Amino acid sequence: MPGLRLGIDLDGVVADFTKGWMNFYNQEFGTELKVEDSVSWNGLTELTHFKSMGEFWRWASDLDGRSIFWHLDTFPGAVEALHDLASEGHHIAILTTKPEFAVHDTFEWLAKHELPTTEVHILEDKWRVDCDVYLDDSPIVLPRLILHRGDRTVCRFVRPWNSPVDGAIDVEGFADFQQVVSGLA
C-alpha cells in the first residue's frame, strides 16, 4: 500500500518561529520576552513596541541580512520525525504561508535543515493542496482545512494560540502525529 501524502506546516510546527523572533527582539531592544509570553495568534503587537503586524514584518524582513525565517531553529525531534515518516513511505508536502520577502530564505532553510521533501507550497489557502493528512497550528488555517477537506484527517498542533477545532485531531507533538499517521496507514 502506498504511503500517505502529509501536508506539513512549518512555522509553529517544524520551525520555532516564536523563539526565533523573540531572540532577535530581546537582543536588539534589551527586553526579556519568553516563549511562554506568546499566547495569541498575531499577538506580537501586544508583546512588543510594534504598533502593527506590518511594522513587525518590516523589522523581521532584514535581521542580519536575512529574513527571520532563515534564522529559525527547528523544534526538537521535528526533522527526525519527518525523516521517520518519509522512511515509512509517506510523502511529505510542505504547506506554508510566507511573506514574499521570505520565499528564498524559506527554500534555503528547508535545504539547510534537510527536510525530507520534494514538494513545497507557499500559499494562503493550504486546503487547495490535496493531502491525506494535514498538520497545522494556525487558528485561521485549521477551520478552513476542515471546511474544504473535511473528508481528510486534519491535525491541530496544540499551541497556546489555538483552540480545539471540531473535526480536527489534537496532537501535542510529533510522537502523537506519528501515531495518528500509523493508525491511518
Quick one: pLDDT at residue 170? 98
The residues, ordered by sequence, that sit 6+ positions from 100 with a Cβ below 8 Å of its Cβ are: none
Phi, psi of 171 (to 5 degrees): -125, 135
Tens digits of residue pLDDT in 56-73: 999 999 998 999 999 999
In this structure, CATH architecture of domain 5-16+72-184: 3-Layer(aba) Sandwich (3.40)
Q: Where exactly are the structural domains of the chain?
A: 5-16+72-184, 17-71
Q: Taking the chain, what is the end-to-end CA distance rounded to the nearest angstrom?
A: 8
Tens digits of residue pLDDT in 30-46: 999 999 999 988 888 89
Q: What would the grid cell of residue 98 be?
A: 510566507
Quick one: pLDDT at residue 159? 95
DSSP letter (8 states) at residue 7: E
CA angle 14, 17, 18 (to 5 degrees): 125
